[in-house]
Structure 1
């Protein structure tokens, strides 16, 4: 999903320090941030929400590089925004405006109390989905359980349930792509790409679960489409 938020060097340093301190999965090398220009701005060009860890992962445009950074929804919401005029120039939000959204406006940095990161190996939903898909990604040949995930079809954050008809076994790469709606799965199991990128899709249709009753339901697939249609508006 495209974002209209950006970082300054100070805000990026702060968010990155928080990601390291909070032991999030994606952070940027501190030295790389210190080499950035003081007056430059760094737009977020892509973001996804991970409901399993309740955090936002963003991709940032920094020159020719596009590093990833994880943060809480609260921190993401506090970031400044921009709009583009007819000439393609960025019009940045006033500092006073975005500082007012911070949970502690008078402090330059805050530390969040807790990070909810469920242990996947103890997650009954994940265990059941991996079992139903015979410990293999439904759209590629990866069978290493350490990189397999139980992806939700209709996101839990939008009302989806942790039921087997709302889950599908995907490797980490395809889970991230699915969360970003880079591909869809029809109610007949066909895989439809929404991007020109090479996602290494090994099949035209998903590998079905071992039990017929566990097949992704048409209802959950429709609700997922409605969810992403709303996100586009």
Structure 2
């Protein structure tokens, strides 16, 4: 039980760090460029203002000093990190498999935060994810060839679909970063679950589009698809036991 509690704490802390790293990257700053400040008033934040989850809730999502709204992405990342780290610890204990998926969560957080803000997915995050998969797959004795083949099939299918949609719509339907992200996440979900991953991504993307279209007065031409891929990846990993039983029933 204590492992789960500590994992919750670690997850919220790392989620807060990822938010800080992304914001500074987008602003052209280094994560080592000084203490955190309010984006609106520039006031240096105290330790009590930076307690993951609790500070946001206690301040009701506003700066203590000027009352400006704090971006909800910080709370989202802290909660996502806490829940995912705690779940992985509960499921596998403090094991290499837990560390593998915990680092994946942090990478997907960074992808979601940057794509949501700037509609880009940095190649450096994709490369880091692929490298992390290679290292952990080797240490966990996974089949490198099978998962690599599954990821290639997934990315290839998405690429072909995107080309067809580009021709029909006469505009770019899916960015190159999204296709690369599908390849990276396909490595982690495994060759047997890439189609589930694709299905979940499409459904989540449609939900996000519908919500944004409802909130906006003008017609939305595009949405960042990285968040949908990221959520789908975690959903596929979490639901893996259920999906396995479903496949057993289908093919038995």
Q: Work out which structure has the larger RCO, using CA pairs closer than 8 Å and 6 or more positions apart in sequence.
A: 2
TM-score when normalising by structure 1: 0.29
TM-score when normalising by structure 2: 0.27
Greater helix percent: which structure? 2
